[in-house]
Amino acid sequence: MPICLRGLLLPLCLFALAGHANAQTEAQRPQYVVISFDGAHDIAQWRRSRALAQETGAHFTYFLSCVFLLTRDNRDLYHPPRKSAGRSNVGFASSREEIAARLEQILGAHGEGHEIASHGCGHFDGKDWSAKDWEQEFDQFSAIVAGAYANNGIEAEPEGWQSLAAGMSKGFRAPYLSTSPQLYEALAARGFAYDASTVSRGPDTPRRKAGVWHFALPLIAEGPARRRIIAMDYNLFVRHSGGVERSDSDGAFEERAYRAFRAAFEKQYSGKRRPLQVGFHFTLMNGGAYWRALERFATDVCTKADVECVSYSGLVEALEAEPAAHVGG
């Protein structure tokens, strides 16, 4: 601890002490990491992600697309904005049995403390949507999720399903991260707690506007040139292979992704400790390179004593409990 003396050096000494105190505060603050998955359809990836969570103590957010709770036989139950009934950019479930297996995974994940949130339904680009369009999509999501058992003739809807279904409409991520200004009007009108559809220059301190928390996937440095890229597997896939599937037989894509995630983490962990958000899909790209990078990353960081790998709803709870103490400014 520096010793402050009276005189001309006192202001400089006080500044140094303030900096020392701030450094101590940042070091004592938990480092939050939020790992999320868009789509949440493939059963194998549900199992794989839940196993990773059990190994590392992490809690994830799964942004569900509601069309995966419909089959082609009952797809007309979905009425998307500005399109005919039964349309979807990502298809539907292949069978009632697949839906039953997915519902089992959703229930299991929820029971383990994970969050199931909304990715809308048909994975349409909403950049030109009105508030009414967004509200229609939200209402369709709510109705289809609530009716998942009845719509598909799956017997014995579990107790508590309706409550769980209602809770899924508290968090949202727009397909393609594509929004319109009217989205935020619709989110507030429908009582959402947060939106996670935007992108920031780097890890940023979340902000609350009109009662809705705004979370942003950050741009992070990646590759030999350290060019910035959205911290999401699809964006890495496009950069590494032009969006064309490759096997990653030498592990180069996995290593680049891992190093980018880890460097972004270390910068916050040793600095301001702003929350770090990273996004993934249930689709394996380039031979599963990005999921392998995720598993290495989560194993390394989520097991640290002063790191909390939480869902978006968990981060909201921390923000609302003690904003200044929990999140870097």
- Is 6 inside a domain boundary? no
Domain membership of residue 241 (yes or no) is yes
Contact (Cβ atoms closer than 8 angstroms) between residue 176 and residue 39: no
Q: What is the pLDDT of residues 190-204, one digit of tens each?
A: 999 999 999 999 999
Find all residues with CB under 8 Å of 231, minimum gap 6, and list them: 217, 218, 219, 220, 260, 261, 264, 276, 277, 278, 279
17 — pLDDT class (breaks 50, 70, 90): very low
Contacts of 251 (CB under 8 A, 6+ apart): 289
pLDDT, tens digit, 9 for 90 and up, residues 123-150: 999 999 999 999 999 999 999 999 999 9
Helix 252-269 and helix 289-301: axis angle, to 10°?
30
Digit-coded pLDDT (tens) for 228-247: 999 999 999 999 999 999 99
pLDDT per position as a tens digit, 165-183: 999 999 999 999 999 999 9
- What domain range includes position 173? 32-326
Please name every residue paired with 62 in a beta bridge, in sequence order, or none if there are none: 37, 116
Q: Is the pLDDT of residue 2 over 80?
A: no
Number of domains within the chain? 1
Q: Is residue 20 part of a domain?
A: no
Average pLDDT, the chain: 92
pLDDT band at residue 20, thresholds of 50, 70 and 90?
very low
- Which CATH number covers residue 83? 3.20.20.370
Whether residue 243 is contained in a domain is answered as yes
Percent of the residues in the chain that have a pLDDT greater than 70, as a whole number: 90
Residue 139 lies in a domain: yes
Distances (CA, A) of 180 to 35, 87, 134, 231, 262: 24, 21, 9, 22, 32
Domain contains 16:
no
Count Cα neighbours of 114 within 13 Å in the Cβ-side half-sphere: 29
Give the largest Cα separation in the chain, rounded: 83
With respect to residue 3, please indicate whether it lies within any of the assigned structural domains.
Answer: no
The residue with greater pLDDT, 41 or 324, is 41
pLDDT at 7 over 90: no
Q: Is residue 26 part of a domain?
A: no
Contact yes or no for 262/300 (Cβ under 8 A): yes
Predicted confidence at residue 26, as pLDDT, reads 59
Q: Which of 195, 236, 237, 206 is nearest to 219 (CA)?
A: 236
Q: Is the pLDDT of residue 27 over 90?
A: no
